[in-house]
Structure 1
């Protein structure tokens, strides 16, 4: 069930809101179980065969969490961590690993491709964050209902944001519609949902026609002209931003409608003046996860320069692997690890850089590395790079208007979260957003309905 589908917007969401409001008013103790049940229905709607995996994952990890404080052997946590990663690896990386093994002379293993359960990376990381903090004494124990809702809450179960238990668990205890700002929260939730839909439908999806044919041609071994390469690369740069940030805006807005505040995930990333600044603005919850649960665990900046640079490289390489089971994703992550390491060396040497030059270098680096992220193979990426660097025919017909509009919105405007909180509530504003929502619905009904890019991760 897509957030940008009629079945969600016109059926599931209204029914869920009515049931939630009734439970909150007349039977408050049923509110959280209702949200858990709605989340399971939402997840199962896509493919009911994966619901048992989610249920077993929640039950087993909750049982481990209950036993972990009493474990004296020290083996339970590493086994739980390995088990969660093994399940993720089985579904997401089995085919990739067999392909790598087949590179060894004499081996010819059959490739096994399992269907990838939606959101498995995200709910696996939620388990890992909670169990890690519980083992360290930073997290308390929770009942099964609250833990299940933390893992499966439907606005964020499929593609985040990655939410720490400390950011959300205390909110489950509130009576959201009894708050003095309840109406304001609902209004801002509707605005965020509408803005996120508009970003996806009007800015992200139209760029796919600039991007997909070119990358498909590169994957098929065809030559890509300079105009096509720049059109596809710049198009994807803004397509992935509006697609994923639009999803996040919708998730934050939906959560507000049910009385939950989720953490922001984007902060105008294409205004970053360094690569470190970029990762503080792009997919912010993943960046914090990688920093706190991988980079710091590897030594961070506490054990000397060599360890710091090595930890950055390893963290970002693993972050690339998390995004996809392919060598191009690993190369993308490794490139960012090298770039972040170079930034550390530059700052340690006392280097300074004007903001404008820093922005240009960061933008060029991010744009060029997006090719590795989008391309299906190194050969396809090489075809795009040849076009970008003028090693292919110049070509013609560069389609720039939609890219220019997307770039202006991405660079100039504030985040959706900041914008909707600056707007003063009034009837004209409500009417304007209602009209925009209707226009979005008409657009959804008129065009192809694209999945969100991050659903594949």
Structure 2
């Protein structure tokens, strides 16, 4: 079920909070069991077929951790990590690689069409993070219940943030009631995340989708249409994904769990390196610690570092989606990060304003690759962006301008939560905002979150 659905907000969430509160009051030692059951119900609500796969994935990786503890075999964990990645490849990339092989060989290979299990990219990376830390001696072996809860905890199982075991396992074990201040902050974050999604992300999708549909069908796209779609998606993906993250963090707080932040005003970045320190922060640190550093990082000279950046970001792009557009998107960001590295090594100065402009333009134009269904569609949009098309009519500033102002200049949701003082005015304002959100959800079609497809 979607966080932005009435069945979640008016059905699952009140029941889950009530049950969790009763367990904390009368059976506090069963808190982890309660959270695990709620997480399985949440995950299975969308499609029960995926629950056995999630359970098998959890059970197999937990058994590997126990065998590693019992035998100390060094090759066991790399084999398990490879198995996790193979399962991800089977469900997510089989058709992509089959199409690529067919294109190279000139043979016709039809798609298999396996259903993509929800959240498989995220829970696969959680398995890999834990197993890598276990092999390095940084992680203990947990019981099956605790490990299952770490992987399946419902606020973050479908689309992150990517949470390290040491950030949450000790929190799951707490039996104290959820502090009213934490619950209130969580409720504010939930409402702010819903606001981002319902009032900004979804309306922007209405500007973006028709233009990319025209380009995908081979139709003409004017310069203004291309810029409207490109800028629209730039802000849509921010409000959509950061809104989801705000909801995930808020839900975690409402159940007494602090999840790591994932966004910090990324469109204020003055360099591409700065952007990746602010955008999808938990993925950035995963790519850094579990790909970039093992590939050599900055320890073996500039050439090796450039190759590590390029490989890390290209693989990061492929993780986002089974398509050449994602590979090129990741490669472009790796190339851009490499240029930034060389610029810093030479010692050249970059005015902050110019750095922001270049970074924003680079990120904005590469989002076209991320959004387009194929490279030919992306090229049509990029050609129009460059002016190789009729000018067309003006942009839809009524939707774009407020989104741009909030994304680039406004405070982050976490900053707002830190400034709000508890009291009757805040409670009344929050209640009215939730009513407006529910009315909006009732009258409009709800878009699924963009990152659910990954």
Q: Same fold (TM over 0.5)?
A: yes
Asked if 1:33 is matched to 2:26, the reply is no
Asked if 1:111 is matched to 2:111, the reply is yes
Aligned to 1:48: 48
Aligned partner (choices 415, 419, 426) of residue 416 of structure 2? 419
Quick check: 1:69–1:135 contact (8 Å CA) kept in 2?
no
**Equivalent runs, 1:188-227 vs 2, <5 Å:** 188-227=185-224
Aligned to 2:330: 333
Aligned to 2:60: 60
Per-residue CA deviation, residues 293-351 of structure 1 (Å, 9 max, x unaligned), is: 00001000001101100000000000000000000000000000000000111101111
Q: TM-score, normalised by structure 1?
A: 0.98
Offset of 1:382 from its aligned partner?
1.1
Aligned to 1:344: 341
Aligned partner (choices 178, 181, 185) of residue 184 of structure 1? 181
Aligned partner (choices 379, 386, 391) of residue 383 of structure 2? 386
Asked if 1:437 is matched to 2:434, the reply is yes
Aligned partner (choices 395, 399, 402) of residue 402 of structure 1? 399
Asked if 1:454 is matched to 2:446, the reply is no
**Equivalent runs, 1:143-292 vs 2, <5 Å:** 143-177=143-177, 182-292=179-289
Offset of 1:362 from its aligned partner?
0.2
Quick check: 2:222–2:384 contact (8 Å CA) kept in 1?
yes
Q: Which moved more, 1:110-119 or 1:333-342?
A: 110-119
Aligned partners of 2:382 and 2:326: how far apart in 1? Answer: 16
Quick check: 2:31–2:175 contact (8 Å CA) kept in 1?
no
Aligned partners of 2:267 and 2:394: how far apart in 1? Answer: 26
Offset of 1:72 from its aligned partner?
4.2
Aligned to 2:368: 371
Aligned to 1:361: 358
Aligned to 2:94: 94
1:19 to 1:426, Cα distance in 2 relative to 1, 3 A: same
Offset of 1:74 from its aligned partner?
2.4
SS at match of 1:177: coil
Aligned partners of 2:318 and 2:105: how far apart in 1? Answer: 24
Question: Which stretches in structure 2 are left out of the alignment for 5+ residues?
Answer: none
1:346 to 1:148, Cα distance in 2 relative to 1, 3 A: same
Asked if 1:308 is matched to 2:305, the reply is yes
Offset of 1:103 from its aligned partner?
1.6
CA RMSD of the aligned region, Å? 0.9
Q: How many residues align?
A: 454
Quick check: 2:74–2:135 contact (8 Å CA) kept in 1?
no
Aligned partners of 1:110 and 1:186: how far apart in 2? Answer: 50
Offset of 1:267 from its aligned partner?
0.1
Aligned partners of 2:335 and 2:309: how far apart in 1? Answer: 8
Offset of 1:75 from its aligned partner?
2.1
Offset of 1:415 from its aligned partner?
1.2
Offset of 1:29 from its aligned partner?
1.4
Offset of 1:167 from its aligned partner?
0.6
Q: TM-score, normalised by structure 2?
A: 0.99
Quick check: 1:332–1:372 contact (8 Å CA) kept in 2?
yes
Aligned to 1:15: 15
SS at match of 1:104: helix
Aligned partners of 2:176 and 2:95: how far apart in 1? Answer: 45
Aligned partners of 2:117 and 2:125: how far apart in 1? Answer: 14
Offset of 1:106 from its aligned partner?
5.0
Offset of 1:70 from its aligned partner?
3.2
Quick check: 1:176–1:258 contact (8 Å CA) kept in 2?
no
Aligned partners of 1:397 and 1:367: how far apart in 2? Answer: 19
Quick check: 2:189–2:414 contact (8 Å CA) kept in 1?
yes
Aligned partners of 1:425 and 1:238: how far apart in 2? Answer: 30
Q: Which moved more, 1:102-111 or 1:194-203?
A: 102-111
Question: Which stretches in structure 1 are left out of the alignment for 5+ residues?
Answer: none
Aligned partners of 1:302 and 1:451: how far apart in 2? Answer: 42
